[in-house]
Amino acid sequence: MKIYVIYDSENGHTEALAKAIAEGAGQENAEVYLDHVDNAQIRALVDMDAIIWGCPGHFGTISGGLKNWIDRLGYLWAEGKLIGKVGAVFCTTATVHGGIEATLLNLITPMLHQGMIIVGLPGNIPENALYGSYYGVGVTCPIEASPDDPPNLPSEAELALGRSLGKRVARITRKLTGNQTS
Ligand SMILES: Cc1cc2nc3c(=O)[nH]c(=O)nc-3n(C[C@H](O)[C@H](O)[C@H](O)COP(=O)(O)O)c2cc1C
């Protein structure tokens, strides 16, 4: 079972979440690939069983870096190459009301156009019962007081949400593909 985690990130906030998601998928014995969008391989998507992509929210929606990359997937759409693959999404924003859910929903839309099967994060996952991140994992990382300060990375509880998403994607992908090992 192969899972590709692709992320955009300028200052490491979304990257930290991406790494937690990859870690969770790995704990379920998935073969996990993790790339910044600048290095992400479009051709490799065809060989994946699941694809998880995420970004910082920019003006309430997908960052330009990831959107440009997603817009290069047209030929995969034309050939139906991603139909039936499992998909999930994640994002970080600086503010709670600055478009976190809109960004997650916008990240899901192109997956649906590609015919992918979307996996979210239900409320019976302990880390999510009070958090309520149902469309994927959305984390608020408050802006640093000064550009010289270290980044306000996701908390341990938020990274646990990320690991839960990675695990859930891996478990559901295993069920769908019948792939019992890696
Ligand atoms: C161009 C730009 C637009 C942004 N727009 C928003 C926004 O609409 N809402 C918000 O809460 N944060 C916004 N942010 C802040 C980032 O989403 C936030 O700092 C994020 O955690 C950065 O993640 P990264 O370090 O992985 O790039 C914006 C940042 C940039 C650079």
Is the shortest distance between the CB of 144 and ligand 1 below 6 Å? no
Residue from 7, 8, 55, 58 to probe ligand 1 pocket by mutation (most atoms less than 8 Å from CB): 58
Distance 8 CA to ligand 1 centre (A): 11
Q: How far apart are CA 76 and CA 68, in angstroms?
A: 15
For ligand 1, what atom is nearest to the CA of residue 97?
11
pTM of the model: 0.97
Q: Domains of the chain: which residue ranges? A: 2-177
Quickly list H helices, 28-99: 64-70, 74-78
- CATH class entry, domain 2-177: alpha beta
CA-nearest residue for atom 9, ligand 1, is: 98
Is the shortest distance between the CB of 140 and ligand 1 below 6 Å? no
Q: Cα separations (Å) of 97 from 8, 60, 62, 92, 169?
A: 21, 9, 15, 12, 27
Tens place of pLDDT for every residue, the chain, 182 residues? 999 999 999 999 999 999 999 999 999 999 999 999 999 999 999 999 999 999 999 999 999 999 999 999 999 999 999 999 999 999 999 999 999 999 999 999 999 999 999 999 999 998 899 899 999 999 999 999 998 999 999 999 999 999 999 999 999 999 999 865 55
Quickly list H helices, 30-180: 64-70, 74-78, 100-113, 126-129, 156-177
For ligand 1, what atom is nearest to the CA of residue 139?
21
Cβ neighbours around 50 below 10 Å, total? 27
Distance 67 CA to ligand 1 centre (A): 14
Is the shortest distance between the CB of 12 and ligand 1 below 6 Å? yes
